[in-house]
Amino acid sequence: MKNKNNMADISMELLQSEQKSWRLLDNALNDANGKNISFGRYMNDKYNMNNDELANEVSESLAVLILLKDHVKEIR
Protein backbone atom coordinates (compact mmCIF):
# COMPACT_ATOMS: atom_id res chain seq x y z
CA MET A 1 0.00 0.00 0.00
CA LYS A 2 1.35 3.51 -0.80
CA ASN A 3 0.68 6.68 1.18
CA LYS A 4 0.41 10.22 -0.15
CA ASN A 5 4.20 10.65 -0.29
CA ASN A 6 4.50 7.56 -2.50
CA MET A 7 5.98 5.62 0.41
CA ALA A 8 4.78 2.14 1.34
CA ASP A 9 2.71 1.62 4.47
CA ILE A 10 3.06 -1.52 6.60
CA SER A 11 1.43 -2.81 9.77
CA MET A 12 3.16 -3.07 13.14
CA GLU A 13 2.80 -6.84 12.93
CA LEU A 14 4.58 -6.93 9.57
CA LEU A 15 7.39 -4.73 10.92
CA GLN A 16 7.90 -7.09 13.86
CA SER A 17 7.84 -10.17 11.63
CA GLU A 18 10.30 -8.64 9.14
CA GLN A 19 12.65 -7.55 11.92
CA LYS A 20 12.71 -11.11 13.27
CA SER A 21 13.35 -12.53 9.78
CA TRP A 22 16.09 -9.99 9.10
CA ARG A 23 17.84 -10.86 12.38
CA LEU A 24 17.91 -14.55 11.41
CA LEU A 25 19.30 -13.62 7.99
CA ASP A 26 21.84 -11.24 9.52
CA ASN A 27 23.02 -13.88 11.99
CA ALA A 28 23.35 -16.49 9.23
CA LEU A 29 25.38 -14.07 7.09
CA ASN A 30 27.61 -13.26 10.06
CA ASP A 31 28.21 -16.97 10.67
CA ALA A 32 29.08 -17.52 6.99
CA ASN A 33 31.23 -14.37 6.72
CA GLY A 34 28.75 -13.09 4.12
CA LYS A 35 27.95 -9.53 3.14
CA ASN A 36 25.38 -8.04 5.49
CA ILE A 37 22.66 -5.56 4.60
CA SER A 38 21.31 -3.06 7.10
CA PHE A 39 17.72 -3.44 8.31
CA GLY A 40 16.84 -0.04 6.84
CA ARG A 41 18.18 -0.99 3.39
CA TYR A 42 16.49 -4.42 3.63
CA MET A 43 13.06 -2.92 4.35
CA ASN A 44 13.44 -0.06 1.88
CA ASP A 45 14.38 -2.43 -0.93
CA LYS A 46 11.91 -5.21 -0.09
CA TYR A 47 8.87 -2.92 0.15
CA ASN A 48 9.96 -0.25 -2.34
CA MET A 49 9.53 2.43 0.30
CA ASN A 50 11.33 5.18 -1.64
CA ASN A 51 12.87 6.47 1.58
CA ASP A 52 16.52 7.51 1.24
CA GLU A 53 16.85 8.24 4.96
CA LEU A 54 15.76 4.67 5.74
CA ALA A 55 17.93 3.14 3.01
CA ASN A 56 21.04 4.89 4.35
CA GLU A 57 20.44 4.17 8.05
CA VAL A 58 22.89 1.58 9.40
CA SER A 59 21.49 1.38 12.93
CA GLU A 60 18.69 -1.17 13.34
CA SER A 61 17.13 0.85 16.16
CA LEU A 62 17.09 4.09 14.18
CA ALA A 63 15.72 2.27 11.13
CA VAL A 64 12.84 0.98 13.26
CA LEU A 65 12.13 4.53 14.45
CA ILE A 66 12.07 5.78 10.84
CA LEU A 67 9.73 2.94 9.89
CA LEU A 68 7.44 3.72 12.83
CA LYS A 69 7.40 7.41 11.96
CA ASP A 70 6.96 7.16 8.20
CA HIS A 71 5.58 3.75 7.28
CA VAL A 72 3.77 1.88 10.05
CA LYS A 73 0.06 2.53 9.92
CA GLU A 74 -2.61 1.35 12.31
CA ILE A 75 -5.05 -1.04 10.68
CA ARG A 76 -8.64 -0.10 11.53
Cβ atoms of 68 and 25 within 8 Å: the answer is no
Residue 7 lies in a domain: no
Residue 2 lies in a domain: no
Residue 1 lies in a domain: no
Query: How many domains does the structure of the chain reveal?
Result: 1
pLDDT tens-digit map of 29-72: 988 887 889 999 999 999 999 999 999 999 999 999 999 999 99
Region 14-18 average pLDDT: 95
20 lies in which domain range?
A: 12-70
pTM: 0.82
Q: Which residues, other chains included, contact 8 with Cβ-Cβ below 8 Å and sequence gap of 6+?
A: 1, 2, 47, 48, 49, 50, 71
Give residue 5's pLDDT. Answer: 58
- The torsion angles phi and psi of 34, rounded to 5 degrees, stand at -85, 175
Residue 51 lies in a domain: yes
